Copies of this chain bind each other. A is one copy, B any other.
């Protein structure tokens, strides 16, 4: 879940199914409204129903899927235009504060390693990278800043917005990768230099520009596919 997890944790089949299904939703292999059949997925992924059920339950509780009690799971729709704006409004409430707190006094011991890790996280994948790679790198950086805020609650709140998940479902502007990296580095530098106000300000500006960059792509995604209304959403067998 966290980008900084270094433990080689044991992975159960339920975890496997969870990440696989989540990935499919994010990369739009499962479009909004699509129906998910439990034993269909079980056969397809080649393990039994139990781990599938657990994965679906988790995804539902995260808001990616909806469950209608005796009818099955379906994929939740994309963010509306209003929800998109709301999402960034909330990010503007939380993330600049996280950046500020990350730049404020912290135990000065492991700063060197942290600084290094942060600079690395700020980098975006170069040429030849997938769109998804870019989204994930961006998510990792924002997660890192949130973690460095020192507030587990704040980090959790930011993570649960699932901002990058929603953004990638809508689309990505690949030509903005370099801009993003510049802005990330500005934030990272301010944090490392322990300049709280500069970090807060840099995060603010980054979010504003990111919102503008994504808005275009988002509008495009909404208008090009205005809900084809398939009356029989084919179950993913």
Contacts and interface: CB of A to CB of B under 8 A. Distances in A.
Contacts of A53: 50, 53-54
A161 B157 contact: yes
Interface residues of A, number: 36
Nearest to A9: B69
Given A54-B57, A93-B93, A83 B11 contact: no
Given A60-B58, A61-B58, A86 B154 contact: yes
Most B CB atoms within 10 A — which of A9, A15, A54, A58? A54
Interface of chain A: mostly helix, strand, loop or mixed: helix
B153 A70 contact: no
Interface in A6-54: 9-12, 14-15, 50, 53-54
A173 interface: no
A205 B100 CA distance: 24
Given A57-B57, A61-B61, A153 B90 contact: yes
Interface in A200-231: none
Copies of this chain: 2
Nearest to A59: B61
Interface string A87-120: 1011001100100000000000000000000000
Given A14-B57, A93-B97, A152 B86 contact: yes
A62 interface: yes
A69 B160 contact: no
A131 B69 CA distance: 32
A70 B11 CA distance: 9
Contacts of A54: 53-54, 57
A122 B151 CA distance: 31
A53 to B, nearest CB: 6
21 contacts: A9-B69, A11-B69, A50-B50, A53-B54, A54-B57, A57-B57, A57-B58, A57-B61, A58-B60, A82-B151, A83-B151, A83-B152, A86-B152, A87-B153, A89-B153, A89-B154, A90-B154, A90-B157, A93-B94, A157-B157, A160-B160
